[in-house]
Amino acid sequence: MNTKEISPEYLSEWLEVPLAIASKSLEDTPRASMNFIIPDSSDQLRILKECHRKLEFMMTKPSSDLKRKNWESQWQRVSERVAAEGVSEESLRPAYFNRKMLRLRGTYVHGLDASFAYSLHLTILRVLFLHHLQGATSYTELGSGTGINLLILSKLFPGAAFLATDWSKNSLQLIDAIGAARDVNLEGRSLDLRTMEGGETVQVPPDGVILTIHALEQIGVRYESVLSFLLAQPARVVFHLEPLVELYDATANFDILASAYHRHLGYLEGYLPTLQKLEKKGIIEIMECKRLGFGDVWHEAYGLVIWRRS
């Protein structure tokens, strides 16, 4: 087994950002929580075969992915934790950051600390926000969930305005709690990404940023209304960190399994090719598009796409 650490140098090389940004993004992260093991080749094959066996069993049954009421229940538990413990990065942690076995840069890895996946997730956000999103006057998130992404943004850019949107009442309550605790210009509004009901209340200024983080996953192939909304906004950039099945390598067993899992659950598909067609037509410019290569043992929700209207 090979033990490694997510150091500033590792982060800078992996995410292709200046070392200063990587270092700043790790400032408040305990070093022990950023250590991981790369299993040897025989274990890699064993993990792959085990995942394949479990996926074959999953695919004999209808998708059991979380539905709306399950998300509401999850956010309610987070809301109760925040009420008891106060607003913090830990109290806002979504329940799905609970696995030690993960995918990282084309291989399976094992986080040594239970918080490895979540710590690395937050670090990735800080890196990407600092590298790509500095200088905006407002940040609008579609599908804000627990509000953790806007909490990170408000710490990095406290002078900006922040708008959170979600269909969940518990999510909007969490946004209110964050705004009160942080004393920042943060507002929450109801918006359903499946239908874009509530979208008429959202208007992003030309110097504003729109972002989605693990939010478009659930809309599958029904992304047209979201895309129409985004194209109508004069935002400076649109930032996505989402599961993008088109970025997998169709010739690698490691990725074939992830693609099958993604499609079995009906996750986002077709959105990236549609953006690429719009770019060819001169309607938008894709400024960044890459696979970060991080995810749980099943798939990756870290496909980065940043674009703007031409």
**Tell me, what's the pLDDT at 99?**
83
Full residue range of the structural domain in which residue 295 is found: 2-309
**Tell me, what's the pLDDT at 66?**
47
Site of tokens 């080749």: 41
pTM value > 0.85:
yes
Instruction: Read off φ and ψ for residue 193, nearest 5 degrees.
Output: -70, -20
Sign of the CA dihedral running 89, 94, 96, 98: positive
Share of the chain above pLDDT 70, in %: 97
**Tell me, what's the pLDDT at 65?**
47
- Give the chain's domain count: 1
Alpha helix stretches (DSSP H) within the chain: 8-15, 19-25, 41-58, 68-85, 116-132, 148-156, 169-182, 224-232, 253-264, 271-280
**Tell me, what's the pLDDT at 175?**
96
CA of residue 166 relative to chain centroid, distance: 15
Higher pLDDT, 152 or 218: 152
Give residue-wise pLDDT tens across range 218-262: 899 999 999 999 999 999 999 999 999 999 999 999 999 999 999
Task: Write out the two tokens for 190.
Answer: 């109801």
What number of helices (H) and strands (E) belong to the chain?
A: 10, 12
Give residue-wise pLDDT tens across range 32-89: 789 999 999 999 999 999 999 999 988 887 665 445 557 788 889 999 999 999 999 9
Quote the CA–CA distance of 230 and 152 in Å, as a whole number: 23
Q: Which CATH number characterizes residue 247's domain? A: 3.40.50.150
Residue type, 216: L
Tell me the β-bridge partners of 38.
2
Quote the CA–CA distance of 22 and 126 in Å, as a whole number: 9
Residues 6+ apart with CB under 8 A from 27: none
Site of tokens 């890895």: 109
